Amino acid sequence: MTLRACVTGQPVTYSRSPLLHGYWLKAYGIDGAYEREEVPPETAADFYRSLAVRGYAGCNVTLPNKEIAFSVLDEADESAAALGAANTLWLEGGKLHGASTDGYGFIANLDASAPGWDGARNCALVVGAGGASRAVVHALVGRGFDRVVLANRTLERAETVASLFGPRVRPLAFDRIVEVMGEADILVNCTSLGMKGSDPLTLDLGRLRPEAVVSDIVYVPLMTPLLKAASAAGFRTVDGLGMLLHQGVPGFRRWFGVTPEVTPELRAVLVEDLRAKGQLEA
Ligand code: ATR
């Protein structure tokens, strides 16, 4: 029997998940399929409840359905429960399970691409307070950082996110970022700044400690202006593509029964797709 999974959301046209999971299905010789399902929020709850009837082993959930998906789960893992959102669903024992794997992907990518990135787990500086930021902050707290400083243009949004995670997460006004840069083991951009067509995130990177790692969750373009500047200044940098690749691992394992590897060959396939679409550079 062909095992089937899909990416759901609106829009799903631009999702790279079919490329990712399609690569692994072929690489491991699995009789499976990974499809796209355009699912508007109005019908999303019904769709997720009827995964089994539709012949799916599970699915990914992208915008704007992650909270809706969470709300229909029978079992939420710790990450989904903490974030109130799910991006990976699977059926197990007749129940609908869900996880949020972005934080896992973020950490696994850093572990693989920049060993020792977490330094003394002293201080992480996260810029941006949207949905992606929540997953990153949750993951950094889980990794054991003493302090996660969350800087955002709209301070209230940073305060709201920080309040979800306890005293180790401290909100900070955007214009005060310079005050903590010298303490950070890692700087993470979780804003949309630097995305193709947006203004860049410009920070005085000279204030960072030389061993600090600079990371961006944006991957279109792959080399964001922030990463370019950090790399030119001699910092270790980690781009957002690796997070995308790693966040797919738990879902693939649940649906298809194999824990897939994130290899240089896989990354090259995704990089080639970005290149073909003119998305490597800003
Ligand atoms: P997502 O859920 O994908 O993280 P989002 O909720 O739209 O996306 O969040 C985008 C983030 O980029 C926010 O932190 C936003 O800051 P505000 O909360 O102040 O809106 C940040 N952002 C977007 N444009 C920005 C800009 N020009 N300057 C500073 N921050 C910006």
Rg, Å, the chain Cα set: 19
Catalytic residue annotation: 66
Question: Which are the contacts of 215, defined by CB distance < 8 A and separation ≥ 6?
Answer: 110, 114, 186, 187, 188, 189, 237, 238, 239, 240
Q: Which residues line the annotated binding site for shikimate?
A: 15-17, 62, 87, 102, 219, 247
Q: If we measure between CA atoms, which residue out of 211, 206, 215 comes closest to residue 126? A: 215
Q: If we measure between CA atoms, which residue out of 152, 142, 149 comes closest to residue 125? A: 149
- Residue 215 reports pLDDT greater than 80: yes
Q: Report DSSP letters for 174-236, one per residue.
A: GGGTHHHHTT-SEEEE-SSTTSTTS------GGGS-TT-EEEES--SSSS-HHHHHHHHTT-E
* 174 C-alpha to ligand 1 centroid (Å): 11
* 250 C-alpha to ligand 1 centroid (Å): 28
Probe residue for ligand 1, chosen from 192, 196, 243 as the CB with the greatest number of ligand atoms within 8 Å: 192
Which band of pLDDT confidence, cut at 50, 70 and 90, is reported for residue 203? very high
Q: pLDDT per residue over 221-257, tens digit each?
A: 999 999 999 999 999 999 999 999 999 999 999 999 9
- Residue 282 reports pLDDT greater than 90: no
Q: Whose CA is nearest to atom 12 of ligand 1?
A: 191
Q: If we measure between CA atoms, which residue out of 106, 7, 103, 18 comes closest to residue 63? A: 7
Q: pLDDT per residue over 138-192, tens digit each?
A: 999 999 999 999 999 999 999 999 999 999 999 999 999 999 999 999 999 999 9
What are the structure tokens assigned to 55, written together? 């012949």
Q: Using a 6 Å cutoff on CB, does residue 129 contact ligand 1? A: yes
Which residue's structure tokens are 């690569």? Answer: 23
